[in-house]
């Protein structure tokens, strides 16, 4: 079973856009198990079991979660599979693989990458027109900056236009101090940061200062505005739907590891 499991997720892309591209013509493995469950806690946490047998990540580490609820959520993805196993429909398992095989072993570069986003965070860059979009950005994004100021003690500066402007080093340092150290929460914040383009949105979600739905909407404010003016972009919406699965998986990890 281990070898089959590894082949199912072997070389699965972590980037959601690349994953969506590959998922157009997936080479799927036939389902080889009846039931997925969460086992009793062991050295690596609560293992995910297929027909009572522990399984492993692509790097051959135990697939186990830090608590039973999260292990059961991962097992639910496996139980939801049909005759074939489709990794594209298992975002929580893919995230768990990434956390166990990469983040937990080398967390520093992950935190560094999140910190890079703080230097040019999405919510800091504001359009100069039209007035409706200016007002909408202020309505949705100003509360994120207020969260950074009041909760993180980080005062970020709004920037007009798209040209890069350096943020205060004190703000970046203060916000960086709130990047989670726990590998599961760190991996979740990293995923949300990449998917939204905003480390501040990710940290607000991690701190419980916003809901997943509000965070997702805030990240797509500009796109939604454009589609409201010029019509729906169905291809873009399909890609967004795939990314939403990854986002929800990361939000689930944050909700279950508080």
Quote the CATH superfamily of domain 107-256.
ATP12 ATPase (1.10.3580.10)
Nearest to 180 by CA among 160, 153, 144, 207: 207
What ranges do the domains of the chain cover?
Answer: 2-103, 107-256
The CATH class for the domain spanning 2-103 reads: alpha beta
CA distances from 180 to 175, 206, 245 (A): 11, 9, 22
Q: What pLDDT is attached to residue 126?
A: 96
DSSP assignment of 195-258 equals: HHT-HHHHHHHHTTSS-HHHHHHHHTHHHHHHHHHH---HHHHHHHHHHHHHHHHHHHHHHH--
pLDDT for the residue numbered 214: 98
Cross-strand partners of 38: 48
Kindly give the parts of the chain with pLDDT less than 70.
Answer: 1-26
The predicted structure's pLDDT at residue 14: 45
How far is the C-alpha of 27 from the C-alpha of 8, rounded, in Å? Answer: 9
Predicted TM-score of the model (pTM): 0.90
Which letter does DSSP use for residue 50 in this model? E
pLDDT given at position 222? 92
Helix (H) or strand (E) holding 173: helix 169-176
């Amino acid at each position: 079973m281990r070898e089959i499991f590894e082949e199912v997720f072997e070389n699965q892309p972590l980037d959601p856009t690349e994953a969506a591209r590959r998922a157009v013509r997936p080479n799927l493995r036939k389902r080889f198990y009846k039931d997925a469950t969460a086992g009793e806690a062991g050295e690596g946490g609560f293992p995910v079991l297929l027909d009572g047998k522990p399984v492993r990540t692509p790097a051959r580490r135990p697939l186990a979660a830090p608590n039973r609820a999260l292990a059961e959520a991962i097992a639910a993805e496996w139980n939801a599979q049909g005759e074939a196993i489709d990794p594209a429909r298992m975002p929580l398992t893919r995230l768990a693989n990434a956390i166990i095989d990469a983040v937990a072993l080398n967390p520093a570069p992950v935190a560094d990458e999140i910190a890079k986003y703080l230097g040019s965070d999405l919510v800091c860059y504001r359009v100069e027109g039209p007035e409706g979009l200016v007002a909408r950005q202020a309505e949705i994004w100003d509360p994120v900056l207020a969260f950074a100021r009041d909760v993180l003690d980080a005062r970020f500066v709004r920037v007009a236009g798209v040209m890069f402007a350096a943020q205060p080093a004190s703000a970046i340092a203060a916000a960086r101090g709130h990047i989670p150290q726990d590998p599961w929460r760190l991996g979740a914040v990293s995923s949300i940061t990449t998917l939204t383009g905003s480390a501040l949105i990710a940290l607000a979600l991690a701190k419980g200062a916003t809901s997943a739905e509000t965070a997702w909407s805030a990240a797509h404010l500009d796109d939604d505005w454009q589609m409201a003016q010029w019509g729906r972009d169905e291809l873009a919406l399909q890609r967004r739907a795939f990314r939403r699965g990854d986002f929800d998986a990361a939000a689930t990890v944050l909700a279950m590891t508080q």
